[in-house]
Amino acid sequence: MMEKEIYGKIIGVNLKYNFLMPFASALGVLILTLVMFNITSLQGIEAARPIEFLLCFIGVTLLVPIFLPEQDDNIRDVVCSKKINYFNILLIRILYSVAAMILLITFFISLMKVCESQVTVQHLIGGVASAWLLGAVGFAAAGITNNVTVGYMAAMLYYLANYGMKDKVGKFFLFPMSYLGRFDESGWLIFGAVALMAITLGVCRKRGHAAARFKLTTR
Partner 1 sequence: MLFLKECKKTICSLTFVLYAAVIFAMYVSQFATELDAPIRRPSPENSYYGSIEKEVPEVLMPAAVESLISEYLAGSYTAYPFMFYKEVKLKESDTVKIAEIIEELTDITKSELDHFTEYEAGGYYGQTDENGNMIMAYKDKVLPEYHLSEDISYEHFKELMTQADEIIGKGSKYSEKYLVSNFSTVPMTYEDALTEYEELMDEHNFAKAYMRLYCDYLGIDLAIIPIFVCVGLWQMDKRSRMEQLIYSRKISSAKLIITRYLALVCCMAVPVALTFFHVMMGLHNLYPEKNIYFGEAAGLVIMWLLPSITIVVSVGALISELLSPLLAIFVQGVWWYVALGKNELTGSITKYTLVIRHNNLGKTRLFREQFHDFIWNRTGYFILSIILIGLVIFVYEKARKGNYDGKRNLWKNNRRKFKV
Which residues in this chain contact partner 1 in the complex, by CB under 8 A?
10, 13-14, 17-18, 21, 25, 28, 32, 35-38, 40-41, 43-47, 54, 57, 61, 65, 68-72, 75, 79, 89, 118, 120, 122, 145, 147-150, 152-154, 156-157, 160-161, 164-165, 181-184
Least CB distance from residue 3 to partner 1, whole Å?
A: 15
Bridge partners of residue 118, in order along the sequence: 43
Nearer to partner 1, 161 or 199 (CB): 161
Nearer to partner 1, 113 or 145 (CB): 145
Nearer to partner 1, 153 or 194 (CB): 153
Nearer to partner 1, 179 or 191 (CB): 179
Least CB distance from residue 61 to partner 1, whole Å?
A: 8
Nearer to partner 1, 122 or 192 (CB): 122
Least CB distance from residue 186 to partner 1, whole Å?
A: 11
Buried b (16+ CB within 10 A) or exposed e, 170-208: eebbbbbbbbeebbebbebbbebbeebbeebbeebbebb
Least CB distance from residue 90 to partner 1, whole Å?
A: 11
